[in-house]
Amino acid sequence: MTWNKLFCNSCELQLLGTLNGGQSFRWTHNQDNNEWTGVFSKTVWKIKQSDNFLQYQVLGSLYKDISENNSNKSHKFSDEQNFEFLLKKYFRLDHDLGKYYKKWSEKDKLFQEACKQFYGIRMLAQEPVENLFSFICSQNNHISRISSMVEKLCMFYGEEICNHNGVKYFTFPEVEKLSDPQVESKLRELGFGYRAKFIQKSAAQIVEWGGEKWFNSLQEMKYKDARQELMKLCGIGPKVADCICLMSLNHLEALPVDTHVYQIAAQNYLPHLRGKKNVTDKMYAEIGDHFRNLYGDMAGWAHTVLFCADLKKFQQNEKSDSVENCKQRKKRKNK
């Protein structure tokens, strides 16, 4: 199978930090050939990077032509145009990340240092249904188990996309499938614990409130109003609500605060918060507001770079690469 190429300088997109940083749980990394395999938009992808291109293969897809949702019905998109559109949207490639990094570096010396290694960290534009239920699974959990739970949801309630090298890949289930009252008992059998109730009850609420239309209305609301609406769902607290706002509702100022984010804030920005045992509602709001005042309306994205830079697993896996290396590659390209 041949590789398709989408122009994207590696300085503008770092796959390791973006796909392995706890945003999405459906990507696997083959370190031998540095290829990533994952599922989004009802499509199975294999992707890898070169200096100036994001290379991709589509292993299977149930995605319908984007022209069906386009106001210009007379224009029919080719498969390649469809898939390029999906990749650009997913990685938010319409955002000039270099410009934002420069802006954030000027405001924050810690960011200025972190971004030397953790360049190209993108905030994925995920589908709200998958994002919401994946983060219900994330509560009091670790990444490998979250990934296992997400795959179980897909296997039992999604639609098979394809079988590649003996592995079956499935779509993330429609919210209506998860709203069935029998879902809770089945998920408990599968090891979801108390999360089983949260998933089924939240799905039923979303269906009752209008499903996709309800999610669309959240995107049109102001951030804090959308956050309050999400917290009306069964099992959705402030942190998960902020994850959904940030990662799938286009509220890029949302900043999920967990104990790790608290430690970054207390150690480097808000020393009066050091030594606290729990993150109270007041502290949560103070931390979020501090970074929104510092970084502006994309604070959640900016802070994700600090989050990645502070994670030990990235420090252990980091390559001898830097923004300076990126600049050298750009110079060679422009000669």
128-137 vs 238-248: helix axis angle to the nearest 10?
A: 150
Q: How far apart are CA 55 and CA 44, in angstroms?
A: 14
Residue 209: Cβ-neighbour burial (10 angstroms; 0-12, 13-18, 19+): middle
Q: How far apart are CA 138 and CA 147, in angstroms?
A: 9
Identify the helix (H) or strand (E) that includes residue 157.
Answer: helix 143-157
Q: Please say whether the beta carbons of 37 and 1 come within 8 A.
A: no
The residue annotated as part of the active site, out of 42, 46, 197, 239, is 239
48 catalytic residue (yes or no): no
Q: Please say whether the beta carbons of 135 and 244 come within 8 A.
A: yes
Q: Please say whether the beta carbons of 255 and 291 come within 8 A.
A: yes
DSSP state of 284: H
Q: Which pair of tokens denotes residue 43?
A: 């499509």
Phi, psi (degrees; rounded to nearest 5) at 268: -115, -20
Q: How far apart are CA 227 and CA 170, in angstroms?
A: 29
Q: How far apart are CA 121 and CA 130, in angstroms?
A: 21
Tokens 């109730």 belong to: 197
Residue 66: Cβ-neighbour burial (10 angstroms; 0-12, 13-18, 19+): middle
Identify each DSSP E strand in the chain by its residue range.
4-7, 27-30, 35-40, 43-49, 53-61, 160-164, 167-170
Q: How far apart are CA 273 and CA 46, in angstroms?
A: 43
Active site residues: 239
